[in-house]
Amino acid sequence: MKQEYEYVIVGSGVAGSTVAKRLLEHNRSASILILEAGPQVEAKIRRFWWDYVVHANGVEHKAYDFTCDQPGESTSSGNTRFLVEGSRVMMYGGSTVHWGGWCLRFKPEDFKLLSNTGDGGDWPISYEDLDPYYYQAEDHLSVCGDIDESWNKLMRKPNTPYPRPPFWWTAPDEEMIKAFKKNNIEPGKMPVARYRKCMTTGTCKYCPLGSRFSGQLVLDELLADRRNLNFKVIGSAPATQVLVDSKKRITGVEYLDLTTGETKQVFGGTVVVCSGTYESPKLLMLSRNQYWDNGIGNDHDLLGRYLVSHSMLKVRGQLDQNKERWFAEYDFPSLMSRTYDTEEYQKKNKIFLFKNRALPDIDLAGLMIAGLSRKEIDKQLTASRQQELQAFMEEKGDKDNRITLANGKNRFGLPKMKAHFDRTPDAQKNGDNWLKLMEKVVADMGYKVIKSEIQDPGGHHSTGTCRMGRNPEEGVTDADLRVFGTDNLYVCSNAVFPSGAAVNPTLTLTALAFRLGDHLAKNRP
Amino acid sequence: MADSDAGKKGTGEVMIGGPFSHQEIGASLLPREGQNLTQIERDKLWRIFQQIGYFWDDLHSSAKDSANLKSTWLEFIEAKTTCEPTYVAEYSNAASVVDELIELYGEKKAFALLFQNNGIPKNPPRPPLTRLEHAKKYVVDEFIRVNVVASGFKSFGGKNYSGYLGGSRYNLKPRVRVE
Ligand SMILES: Cc1cc2nc3c(=O)[nH]c(=O)nc-3n(C[C@H](O)[C@H](O)[C@H](O)COP(=O)(O)OP(=O)(O)OC[C@H]3O[C@@H](n4cnc5c(N)ncnc54)[C@H](O)[C@@H]3O)c2cc1C
């Protein structure tokens, strides 16, 4: 039997589920299929959570890790290693099952990176186009934040608080705040997607309550809602090819049923690729046919190019006492600053500052297990502490930084991948300068700087492999996220971002997904 | 089954306990052989948990013991004994190991030795081979973590800790130390 749907969505992460949610809000009987490469893994299992908390044999620090990229599934070339391992989750619900939940808007200047600096890309839409959708995204993700900070005045309309109040600064934050102020850095409270009944247990990687936003919860709710008569998710079903019957007309998707090994096809009026920054371009590259020699949307050799992610800057300091007995109490940072995340610093690879969430720290139970007495533990606890100032540095898109298909298959039957990334000498120099500034802040806290480094870009925030453009020479998709040269194929992913800004991408992605849902509903054939 | 001097291998220290504790049983989790945890065993396990609180003096309930955490601890035991891989056989083993230690050293000393000077090889560490090592790794060490995350950390100064479930976020009181 021919499987036909109005919409076939490839990927069940926050992008896919948000598009589906919005389409269903417009029309409860819309027929929608989500194909998901990864398995469905149960959440909120008390036993797993306890094993996680007590570091039971083999479970310590692990949650869903088997669905993350494993060593050997991708390679990296270029002067800077691009870290793919552990940077996404391939399962029902996608990477937000594993994410930190930091939710920051891009700033107006982020949409004009090329115009402002001569590097990277401009978006074919502006901040104002996305503004109404940012509010909806904040609501959907349940963002806790503060509106008093000066940068909010540039980005938010008056009297538009976040849906939830912010998390308080912790006592160790205050020490860094004083040093911030000394250096004219404005402190802010980190907006995070903590949800419903968050009890701040500090095990956010595996929440026993489902209190941190996760794509899984949205899918569960959409599936459980009996009004959504024609909504379906198929797991363990990696899409391997987008099907066409002419250059412009997409007819559906071919996928592998991992449970039987069979290749199957589904047909859809509209296909939306929501497979993340790596798999979205890979799927289009794989979709070679008589009309598209190099893959769909790749007539100008743009698929996979302009790969960007944040480079993380870290400056750690040590103090030779901890009489306050501080240790980490949240599993997310509460202190941040966007003082250097402005148009003025865009040319200098602007940065977004925040305090390391895990410091100061001590493994009290570990010391007890090792047999230390109460007195010895108290002595260790009060002897010293470390704090760390961290930052994401904006990297600007370069055409030669790209992902390509590699030989061999990963666990999901999808081709392995190669990432190439060169950091420009300019970015390296700017990074070194930012480190000096950060070292000064740490020194002003009265700490001795013991580590100062620029890390390799982590793939968690990778963007730019199917970027939006004003025309097919500039981008893979247009301003509505439709793949140039097609009538009914869309990409909704961080892949479409022409610039990665200095902050985390998912709030902006969620805003784009709502916008796409509205666009598709409005233009229903 | 043969007594073993596993505790002496490669270390200067002698492992505490008698023949039962020293018996080698392989490193992997003991399989459940159809048995369920008895109330007697549960009581003995609870005693281990209580002794952790006394030994490190970290649970400041009025009685200075672990009583306030009993429901948390019971939920932990329930999760560990009703889901795979089940710890029933490990719990049964630990109860018997502690019985032997108490018989040999008396209650107070038995727990002090078990927690601190047990003679289990540390340098280099090795997988748990004997009954004593199983009891330490699969039971005592995990109970210590439950003790700390369930409230014990508070006596070290904190208000929140990784794993601590402390009530609704919307009570407007910060769940962590603030200035
Ligand atoms: C550890 C970690 C921490 C993070 N922290 C933050 C943070 O604090 N703030 C923030 O903004 N962002 C954060 N991120 C990034 C965030 O998770 C991503 O931006 C977001 O999840 C992207 O959503 P997505 O739906 O595009 O992709 P994903 O959530 O990755 O979902 C894509 C889905 O598509 C599926 N798929 C891929 N290929 C195919 C195929 N061919 N066929 C079928 N299905 C396919 C995948 O299996 C996956 O489930 C973090 C990421 C990680 C890994």
Q: Do B162 and A203 touch (CB under 8 A)?
A: yes
| Structure confidence at residue A2 (pLDDT) | 66
Q: What are phi and psi of A187, to 5 degrees?
A: -80, 145
How far apart are the C-alpha atoms of A344 and A119, rounded to whole Å? Answer: 15
| Residues of chain B neighbouring A170 (CB-CB closer than 8 A) | 176-178
Q: What length does chain B have?
A: 179
How far apart are the C-alpha atoms of A510 and A492, rounded to whole Å? Answer: 9
How far apart are the C-alpha atoms of B78 and B70, rounded to whole Å? Answer: 12
Which residue, A316, A357, A359, A345, is CA-closest to A190?
A: A357
| Residues of chain B neighbouring A381 (CB-CB closer than 8 A) | 156-157
Q: Are strands A351-355 and A385-393 parallel, antiparallel or unpaired?
A: antiparallel
Q: Per residue, what are the HEC states of B89-148?
A: HHHHHHHHHHHHHHHHHCHHHHHHHHHCCCCCCCCCCCCCCEHHHHHHHHHHHHHHHHHH
Ligand 1 neighbourhood includes A415 CB (under 6 angstroms): no
pLDDT(B75) > 70 = yes
How far apart are the C-alpha atoms of A433 and A436, rounded to whole Å? Answer: 5
Instruction: Convert the pLDDT of each residue in A453-475 to its tens digit.
Output: 999 888 899 999 999 999 999 99
ipTM for the whole predicted complex goes beyond 0.95: no
| Structure confidence at residue B6 (pLDDT) | 40
How far apart are the C-alpha atoms of A187 and A353, rounded to whole Å? Answer: 9
Instruction: Give the residue from chain A lying closest to B81, CA to CA.
Output: A47
In angstroms, the Cα distances linking A178 to A351, A377, A442, A446, A523 are: 20, 29, 11, 11, 53
Atom of ligand 1 minimally distant from the CA of A279 = 38
How far apart are the C-alpha atoms of A169 and B165, rounded to whole Å? Answer: 19
The beta-carbon neighbor of B163 closest among A53, A171, A324 is A53
Atom of ligand 1 minimally distant from the CA of A93 = 49
pLDDT(B5) > 50 = no
Instruction: Convert the pLDDT of each residue in B113-172 to its tens digit.
Output: 999 999 999 888 899 999 999 999 999 999 999 999 999 999 999 988 988 887 555 556
* Residue B4 pLDDT class (50, 70, 90 cuts): very low
Buried residues in A300-324 as b, exposed as e (16+ CB within 10 A): bebbbbbbbbbbbbbbbbbeeebee
Residues from A in contact with B at Cβ < 8 Å? 45-47, 50, 53-57, 165, 168-171, 174, 194, 197-203, 208, 211, 324-331, 364-365, 368-371, 373-374, 377-378, 381
* Residue B61 pLDDT class (50, 70, 90 cuts): low
**Residues in Cβ contact with A83 at an 8 Å cutoff, skipping those fewer than 6 apart:** A76, A456, A457, A458, A459
Q: Do A168 and B174 touch (CB under 8 A)?
A: yes
Atom of ligand 1 minimally distant from the CA of A494 = 26
| Structure confidence at residue B175 (pLDDT) | 81
Residues of chain A with pLDDT under 50: none
CA distance B162 to chain A (A): 4
Q: Per residue, what are the HEC states of A69-117?
A: CCCCCEEEECCCCCECCCCCECCCCHHHHCCCCECCCCCHHHHEHHHHH
| Structure confidence at residue A210 (pLDDT) | 80
CA distance A374 to chain B (A): 5
| Structure confidence at residue B140 (pLDDT) | 98
Region at A154 (left for phi over 0; alpha for psi -120 to 50; beta for the rest): alpha
| Structure confidence at residue B9 (pLDDT) | 44
User: If you measure from the C-alpha of residue B148 to the centroid of ligand 1, how many angstroms do you get, rounded to a whole number?
Assistant: 33
| Residues of chain B neighbouring A174 (CB-CB closer than 8 A) | 178-179
How far apart are the C-alpha atoms of A296 and A67, rounded to whole Å? Answer: 28
**Which residue segments constitute the domains of chain A, with CATH numbers given?**
1-100+123-137+199-308+403-421+462-525 (3.50.50.60)
User: If you measure from the C-alpha of residue A430 to the centroid of ligand 1, how many angstroms do you get, rounded to a whole number?
Assistant: 29
Interface test with B, best of A52, A173, A212, A369 (most B CBs within 10 A): A369
User: If you measure from the C-alpha of residue B88 to the centroid of ligand 1, how many angstroms do you get, rounded to a whole number?
Assistant: 38
Task: Name the residue with the closest Cα to ligand 1, atom 2.
Answer: A99
How far apart are the C-alpha atoms of B77 and A54, rounded to whole Å? Answer: 12
Ligand 1 neighbourhood includes A37 CB (under 6 angstroms): yes
What's the burial of A184, exposed, middle or buried (CB within 10 Å: 0-12/13-18/19+)? exposed
How far apart are the C-alpha atoms of A217 and A228, rounded to whole Å? Answer: 16
| Residues of chain A neighbouring B152 (CB-CB closer than 8 A) | 364-365
> Could you tell me if A346 and A494 are in contact, meaning their C-beta atoms sit under 8 angstroms apart?
no
The residue to mutate among A96, A219, A278, having the most atoms of ligand 1 within 8 angstroms of its beta carbon, is A96
Ligand 1 neighbourhood includes A277 CB (under 6 angstroms): no
- H helix or E strand, kind and range, residue A7: strand A4-10
Instruction: Give the residue from chain B lying closest to A45, CA to CA.
Output: B79
> Could you tell me if A349 and A467 are in contact, meaning their C-beta atoms sit under 8 angstroms apart?
no
Instruction: Give the residue from chain B lying closest to A322, CA to CA.
Output: B157
Q: Do A53 and B56 touch (CB under 8 A)?
A: no
Strand order in the sheet with A385-393: A188-189, A335-337, A351-355, A385-393, A311-319, A448-454
Task: Name the residue with the closest Cα to ligand 1, atom 4.
Answer: A99
Q: What are phi and psi of A396, to 5 degrees?
A: -100, 145
Bridge partners, A177 (sequence order):
none
Interface test with B, best of A51, A52, A329, A382 (most B CBs within 10 A): A329
User: If you measure from the C-alpha of residue A35 to the centroid of ligand 1, how many angstroms do you get, rounded to a whole number?
Assistant: 15
Atom of ligand 1 minimally distant from the CA of A414 = 41
Instruction: Give the residue from chain A lying closest to B111, CA to CA.
Output: A371
How far apart are the C-alpha atoms of A370 and A383, rounded to whole Å? Answer: 18
Ligand 1 neighbourhood includes A475 CB (under 6 angstroms): no
